[in-house]
Amino acid sequence: MSWKELAQTQPYVVQMLTSSLKKERLAHAYLFEGSRGTGKKRVALQLAKSFFCGKKEGVEPCQICPDCKRIDHGNHPDLHLIEPDGQSIKKQQVEHLQKEFTYRGVESSKKVYLIDQADKMTASAANSLLKFLEEPGAPTLALLLTEQVQHMLSTVLSRSQILTFSPLPREAFIKILTNEGISLPISSLLSSLTTSYEEAMGLAEGEWIAQARNVVIQLVEELHSRQNQVMFTLQEKWFPHFKERKEQELGLDLLLLWYRDLLYTQVGKDDALTYLDQKETLSQQVLSSSQSRISESMSAIMEAKRYLSANVHPQLLMEKLMLRLQEG
Protein backbone atom coordinates (compact mmCIF):
# COMPACT_ATOMS: atom_id res chain seq x y z
CA MET A 1 0.00 0.00 0.00
CA SER A 2 1.39 3.42 -0.98
CA TRP A 3 0.53 6.93 0.21
CA LYS A 4 -0.97 7.54 -3.23
CA GLU A 5 -3.34 4.59 -2.80
CA LEU A 6 -4.26 5.64 0.74
CA ALA A 7 -5.03 9.14 -0.55
CA GLN A 8 -7.85 7.72 -2.68
CA THR A 9 -9.90 7.09 0.46
CA GLN A 10 -8.45 9.58 2.97
CA PRO A 11 -7.11 12.53 0.94
CA TYR A 12 -7.13 15.09 3.78
CA VAL A 13 -5.35 12.86 6.30
CA VAL A 14 -2.75 11.73 3.77
CA GLN A 15 -2.09 15.30 2.62
CA MET A 16 -1.50 16.44 6.20
CA LEU A 17 0.85 13.58 7.02
CA THR A 18 2.85 13.56 3.78
CA SER A 19 3.27 17.33 3.98
CA SER A 20 4.68 16.97 7.50
CA LEU A 21 6.95 14.14 6.32
CA LYS A 22 8.30 16.27 3.47
CA LYS A 23 9.04 19.14 5.85
CA GLU A 24 10.34 16.73 8.52
CA ARG A 25 7.89 18.28 10.96
CA LEU A 26 5.91 15.33 12.25
CA ALA A 27 4.08 15.95 15.50
CA HIS A 28 5.26 13.78 18.40
CA ALA A 29 1.72 12.45 18.94
CA TYR A 30 -1.22 11.88 16.58
CA LEU A 31 -4.75 10.83 17.40
CA PHE A 32 -6.49 9.15 14.47
CA GLU A 33 -10.23 9.20 15.04
CA GLY A 34 -13.00 7.86 12.84
CA SER A 35 -15.47 5.05 12.39
CA ARG A 36 -14.44 1.44 12.03
CA GLY A 37 -12.89 0.52 8.73
CA THR A 38 -11.76 3.96 7.61
CA GLY A 39 -8.12 2.85 7.42
CA LYS A 40 -6.71 4.29 10.63
CA LYS A 41 -4.41 1.37 11.33
CA ARG A 42 -3.24 1.08 7.73
CA VAL A 43 -2.30 4.78 7.71
CA ALA A 44 -0.60 4.42 11.11
CA LEU A 45 1.55 1.53 9.87
CA GLN A 46 2.35 3.40 6.66
CA LEU A 47 3.45 6.40 8.72
CA ALA A 48 5.63 4.12 10.84
CA LYS A 49 7.22 2.76 7.66
CA SER A 50 7.98 6.26 6.39
CA PHE A 51 9.36 7.15 9.85
CA PHE A 52 11.74 4.17 9.96
CA CYS A 53 12.57 3.49 6.30
CA GLY A 54 16.08 4.54 5.35
CA LYS A 55 15.54 3.92 1.65
CA LYS A 56 12.30 5.82 1.07
CA GLU A 57 11.84 7.87 -2.09
CA GLY A 58 10.46 11.20 -1.01
CA VAL A 59 7.81 10.19 1.52
CA GLU A 60 7.16 6.72 0.07
CA PRO A 61 8.71 3.86 2.07
CA CYS A 62 10.55 1.34 -0.08
CA GLN A 63 8.42 -1.62 1.20
CA ILE A 64 11.35 -4.03 0.82
CA CYS A 65 13.95 -3.04 3.43
CA PRO A 66 14.13 -4.88 6.79
CA ASP A 67 12.26 -2.05 8.57
CA CYS A 68 9.35 -2.11 6.12
CA LYS A 69 9.14 -5.90 6.06
CA ARG A 70 9.23 -6.20 9.85
CA ILE A 71 6.38 -3.71 10.16
CA ASP A 72 4.41 -5.77 7.64
CA HIS A 73 5.07 -8.91 9.67
CA GLY A 74 4.28 -7.25 12.99
CA ASN A 75 7.68 -7.88 14.56
CA HIS A 76 9.58 -4.60 14.30
CA PRO A 77 11.62 -4.29 17.51
CA ASP A 78 11.07 -0.52 17.82
CA LEU A 79 7.36 -0.45 16.96
CA HIS A 80 5.28 -1.22 20.03
CA LEU A 81 1.57 -2.00 19.74
CA ILE A 82 -0.83 -1.76 22.67
CA GLU A 83 -4.34 -3.18 22.41
CA PRO A 84 -7.05 -3.74 25.04
CA ASP A 85 -6.30 -6.54 27.47
CA GLY A 86 -9.84 -7.84 27.82
CA GLN A 87 -12.21 -4.88 27.99
CA SER A 88 -9.64 -2.15 28.64
CA ILE A 89 -6.07 -0.93 28.29
CA LYS A 90 -4.60 -1.05 31.76
CA LYS A 91 -2.06 1.11 33.57
CA GLN A 92 0.43 -1.77 33.69
CA GLN A 93 0.45 -1.93 29.88
CA VAL A 94 1.36 1.75 29.61
CA GLU A 95 3.99 1.40 32.34
CA HIS A 96 5.52 -1.55 30.48
CA LEU A 97 5.61 0.59 27.34
CA GLN A 98 7.35 3.41 29.23
CA LYS A 99 9.93 0.94 30.52
CA GLU A 100 10.58 -0.33 27.00
CA PHE A 101 11.16 3.22 25.84
CA THR A 102 13.85 3.85 28.42
CA TYR A 103 16.04 1.48 26.41
CA ARG A 104 17.83 2.68 23.32
CA GLY A 105 16.22 1.66 20.03
CA VAL A 106 17.34 -1.78 18.92
CA GLU A 107 18.33 -0.73 15.40
CA SER A 108 18.10 3.08 15.57
CA SER A 109 17.30 5.82 18.05
CA LYS A 110 13.73 6.00 16.71
CA LYS A 111 10.72 4.48 18.42
CA VAL A 112 7.01 4.33 17.60
CA TYR A 113 4.18 3.28 19.82
CA LEU A 114 0.71 2.59 18.49
CA ILE A 115 -2.26 2.41 20.88
CA ASP A 116 -5.26 0.81 19.21
CA GLN A 117 -8.73 1.56 20.68
CA ALA A 118 -7.12 4.25 22.82
CA ASP A 119 -10.55 5.24 24.20
CA LYS A 120 -10.46 1.98 26.19
CA MET A 121 -7.60 3.14 28.38
CA THR A 122 -8.57 3.17 32.03
CA ALA A 123 -8.33 6.57 33.73
CA SER A 124 -5.09 5.50 35.44
CA ALA A 125 -3.63 4.25 32.13
CA ALA A 126 -4.51 7.52 30.38
CA ASN A 127 -3.02 9.58 33.20
CA SER A 128 0.10 7.44 33.11
CA LEU A 129 0.38 8.15 29.38
CA LEU A 130 0.13 11.92 29.86
CA LYS A 131 3.71 12.42 31.08
CA PHE A 132 4.88 10.29 28.18
CA LEU A 133 3.03 12.61 25.78
CA GLU A 134 4.31 15.74 27.51
CA GLU A 135 7.96 14.69 27.58
CA PRO A 136 8.56 12.43 24.58
CA GLY A 137 12.00 11.01 24.16
CA ALA A 138 13.22 12.19 20.77
CA PRO A 139 12.74 10.89 18.17
CA THR A 140 9.52 9.22 19.30
CA LEU A 141 6.22 8.98 17.47
CA ALA A 142 2.96 8.24 19.31
CA LEU A 143 -0.04 7.04 17.30
CA LEU A 144 -3.38 6.74 19.10
CA LEU A 145 -6.37 5.20 17.29
CA THR A 146 -10.00 5.52 18.36
CA GLU A 147 -13.58 5.16 17.15
CA GLN A 148 -14.90 6.93 20.26
CA VAL A 149 -13.00 10.21 20.57
CA GLN A 150 -15.64 11.54 22.99
CA HIS A 151 -14.46 8.97 25.54
CA MET A 152 -10.86 10.25 25.53
CA LEU A 153 -9.47 12.42 28.31
CA SER A 154 -9.34 16.08 27.25
CA THR A 155 -5.76 16.27 28.53
CA VAL A 156 -4.74 13.49 26.12
CA LEU A 157 -6.57 15.18 23.25
CA SER A 158 -4.87 18.52 23.93
CA ARG A 159 -1.44 16.91 23.66
CA SER A 160 -2.11 15.17 20.34
CA GLN A 161 -2.68 16.34 16.79
CA ILE A 162 -6.13 15.05 15.92
CA LEU A 163 -6.81 13.78 12.39
CA THR A 164 -10.37 12.75 11.52
CA PHE A 165 -10.87 9.87 9.08
CA SER A 166 -13.89 10.16 6.80
CA PRO A 167 -16.14 7.15 6.09
CA LEU A 168 -15.31 5.49 2.77
CA PRO A 169 -17.68 6.43 -0.06
CA ARG A 170 -19.57 3.26 -1.00
CA GLU A 171 -18.64 3.37 -4.67
CA ALA A 172 -14.96 3.82 -3.82
CA PHE A 173 -15.07 0.86 -1.45
CA ILE A 174 -16.81 -1.34 -4.04
CA LYS A 175 -14.09 -0.44 -6.55
CA ILE A 176 -11.36 -1.39 -4.07
CA LEU A 177 -13.01 -4.77 -3.45
CA THR A 178 -13.62 -5.56 -7.12
CA ASN A 179 -9.97 -4.69 -7.83
CA GLU A 180 -9.11 -7.45 -5.35
CA GLY A 181 -10.97 -9.93 -7.56
CA ILE A 182 -14.23 -10.04 -5.59
CA SER A 183 -17.35 -10.20 -7.78
CA LEU A 184 -19.50 -7.08 -8.09
CA PRO A 185 -22.57 -8.59 -6.34
CA ILE A 186 -20.46 -9.71 -3.36
CA SER A 187 -18.51 -6.42 -3.29
CA SER A 188 -21.79 -4.53 -3.21
CA LEU A 189 -23.01 -6.70 -0.34
CA LEU A 190 -19.78 -6.32 1.63
CA SER A 191 -19.79 -2.53 1.18
CA SER A 192 -23.25 -2.44 2.78
CA LEU A 193 -22.12 -4.59 5.72
CA THR A 194 -18.86 -2.87 6.63
CA THR A 195 -16.49 -0.05 5.71
CA SER A 196 -13.54 -2.09 6.97
CA TYR A 197 -11.24 -3.39 4.24
CA GLU A 198 -9.82 -6.04 6.58
CA GLU A 199 -13.28 -7.22 7.68
CA ALA A 200 -14.59 -7.25 4.11
CA MET A 201 -11.63 -9.31 2.88
CA GLY A 202 -12.09 -11.69 5.81
CA LEU A 203 -15.76 -12.18 4.98
CA ALA A 204 -14.91 -12.69 1.31
CA GLU A 205 -12.58 -15.62 2.05
CA GLY A 206 -14.08 -18.92 0.98
CA GLU A 207 -17.70 -19.20 -0.09
CA TRP A 208 -19.49 -18.46 3.19
CA ILE A 209 -20.76 -14.96 2.34
CA ALA A 210 -21.85 -15.98 -1.18
CA GLN A 211 -23.76 -18.95 0.21
CA ALA A 212 -25.28 -16.77 2.94
CA ARG A 213 -26.48 -14.36 0.27
CA ASN A 214 -28.09 -17.22 -1.67
CA VAL A 215 -29.90 -18.49 1.44
CA VAL A 216 -31.32 -15.02 2.12
CA ILE A 217 -32.48 -14.59 -1.49
CA GLN A 218 -34.18 -18.01 -1.40
CA LEU A 219 -35.85 -17.21 1.93
CA VAL A 220 -37.28 -13.84 0.85
CA GLU A 221 -38.55 -15.34 -2.41
CA GLU A 222 -40.42 -17.97 -0.40
CA LEU A 223 -41.78 -15.36 2.00
CA HIS A 224 -43.41 -13.68 -1.00
CA SER A 225 -44.46 -16.60 -3.19
CA ARG A 226 -44.03 -19.99 -1.44
CA GLN A 227 -44.84 -19.38 2.19
CA ASN A 228 -45.41 -23.07 2.92
CA GLN A 229 -41.69 -23.62 2.26
CA VAL A 230 -40.37 -20.95 4.65
CA MET A 231 -40.01 -23.04 7.81
CA PHE A 232 -38.52 -25.91 5.81
CA THR A 233 -35.86 -23.56 4.38
CA LEU A 234 -35.09 -22.29 7.87
CA GLN A 235 -34.37 -25.82 9.05
CA GLU A 236 -32.60 -27.07 5.94
CA LYS A 237 -30.63 -23.96 4.89
CA TRP A 238 -30.67 -21.12 7.43
CA PHE A 239 -29.76 -22.81 10.69
CA PRO A 240 -27.03 -25.07 9.23
CA HIS A 241 -25.37 -22.04 7.61
CA PHE A 242 -25.79 -19.35 10.29
CA LYS A 243 -24.42 -21.30 13.25
CA GLU A 244 -22.44 -18.91 15.43
CA ARG A 245 -23.82 -15.75 17.03
CA LYS A 246 -21.84 -13.45 14.75
CA GLU A 247 -23.07 -15.39 11.71
CA GLN A 248 -26.67 -15.12 12.94
CA GLU A 249 -26.25 -11.36 13.34
CA LEU A 250 -24.87 -11.15 9.80
CA GLY A 251 -27.82 -13.19 8.52
CA LEU A 252 -30.26 -10.69 10.00
CA ASP A 253 -28.21 -7.85 8.51
CA LEU A 254 -28.45 -9.48 5.06
CA LEU A 255 -32.21 -9.87 5.51
CA LEU A 256 -32.55 -6.23 6.58
CA LEU A 257 -30.58 -5.09 3.53
CA TRP A 258 -33.02 -6.97 1.27
CA TYR A 259 -35.99 -5.10 2.73
CA ARG A 260 -34.08 -1.84 2.49
CA ASP A 261 -33.58 -2.61 -1.20
CA LEU A 262 -37.34 -3.12 -1.51
CA LEU A 263 -37.82 0.35 -0.08
CA TYR A 264 -35.20 1.80 -2.44
CA THR A 265 -36.87 0.06 -5.40
CA GLN A 266 -40.22 1.52 -4.44
CA VAL A 267 -38.86 5.09 -4.38
CA GLY A 268 -36.70 4.65 -7.49
CA LYS A 269 -33.24 4.64 -5.84
CA ASP A 270 -31.89 1.77 -7.93
CA ASP A 271 -28.37 3.19 -7.73
CA ALA A 272 -28.33 2.52 -3.96
CA LEU A 273 -29.26 -1.17 -4.15
CA THR A 274 -27.18 -3.76 -2.30
CA TYR A 275 -28.59 -6.76 -4.22
CA LEU A 276 -27.95 -5.00 -7.50
CA ASP A 277 -28.27 -8.17 -9.61
CA GLN A 278 -31.75 -8.86 -8.18
CA LYS A 279 -33.58 -5.82 -9.61
CA GLU A 280 -36.19 -7.91 -11.41
CA THR A 281 -37.09 -9.91 -8.29
CA LEU A 282 -37.17 -6.76 -6.17
CA SER A 283 -39.43 -5.03 -8.69
CA GLN A 284 -41.84 -7.98 -8.64
CA GLN A 285 -41.96 -8.08 -4.84
CA VAL A 286 -42.56 -4.34 -4.57
CA LEU A 287 -45.82 -4.77 -6.51
CA SER A 288 -47.32 -6.66 -3.56
CA SER A 289 -45.66 -4.59 -0.81
CA SER A 290 -46.69 -1.20 0.51
CA GLN A 291 -44.15 1.20 1.98
CA SER A 292 -45.68 0.80 5.44
CA ARG A 293 -45.50 -3.00 5.17
CA ILE A 294 -41.83 -2.89 4.19
CA SER A 295 -41.10 -0.52 7.10
CA GLU A 296 -42.90 -2.86 9.50
CA SER A 297 -40.85 -5.79 8.21
CA MET A 298 -37.62 -3.83 8.72
CA SER A 299 -38.71 -2.96 12.27
CA ALA A 300 -39.40 -6.65 12.94
CA ILE A 301 -35.88 -7.60 11.77
CA MET A 302 -34.26 -4.89 13.89
CA GLU A 303 -36.26 -6.09 16.89
CA ALA A 304 -35.03 -9.63 16.20
CA LYS A 305 -31.45 -8.30 16.22
CA ARG A 306 -32.04 -6.78 19.66
CA TYR A 307 -33.49 -10.05 20.95
CA LEU A 308 -30.51 -11.95 19.56
CA SER A 309 -28.18 -9.62 21.49
CA ALA A 310 -30.24 -10.40 24.59
CA ASN A 311 -29.52 -14.13 24.11
CA VAL A 312 -33.00 -15.19 22.96
CA HIS A 313 -32.83 -18.69 21.45
CA PRO A 314 -31.96 -18.22 17.73
CA GLN A 315 -34.38 -20.86 16.44
CA LEU A 316 -37.37 -19.48 18.33
CA LEU A 317 -36.38 -15.96 17.31
CA MET A 318 -36.18 -16.79 13.60
CA GLU A 319 -39.42 -18.77 13.57
CA LYS A 320 -41.25 -15.86 15.21
CA LEU A 321 -39.64 -13.42 12.78
CA MET A 322 -40.73 -15.47 9.75
CA LEU A 323 -44.33 -15.48 10.99
CA ARG A 324 -44.22 -11.69 11.39
CA LEU A 325 -42.74 -11.22 7.92
CA GLN A 326 -45.40 -13.49 6.41
CA GLU A 327 -48.14 -11.47 8.09
CA GLY A 328 -46.60 -8.25 6.84
Q: Does the pLDDT of residue 305 top 80, yes or no?
A: yes
pLDDT in tens, 59-111: 999 999 999 999 999 999 999 999 998 889 999 999 888 887 776 555 667 89
The DSSP secondary structure of 153-207, one letter per residue, reads -HHHHHTSEEEEPPPPPHHHHHHHHHHTT--HHHHHHHHHH-S-HHHHHHHHSTT
Would you state the pLDDT for residue 216? 97
The residues near 34 (Cβ < 8 Å, ≥ 6 apart) are 40, 147, 164, 165, 166, 167
Average pLDDT over residues 201-222: 95
198 has a pLDDT exceeding 80:
no
Q: Answer positive or negative: Cα dihedral of 131, 136, 140, 143.
A: positive
pTM above 0.85? no
Q: Which of 17-26, 145-154, 164-173, 205-214 has the lowest mean pLDDT?
A: 164-173
Would you place residue 36 in the very low, low, confident or very high pLDDT band (cuts 50, 70, 90)? confident
Q: How far apart are the first and last CA of the chain?
A: 48
Angle, CA of 118, 124 and 130, to the nearest 5° = 65
**pLDDT attached to residue 136:** 66
Structural domain spans, the chain:
3-164, 206-327
Amino acid in position 278: Q
Topology (CATH level 3) of domain 3-164: Rossmann fold (3.40.50)
When computed from its CA atoms, the radius of gyration of the chain, rounded to whole angstroms, is 24
Q: What class is the 206-327 domain?
A: mainly alpha
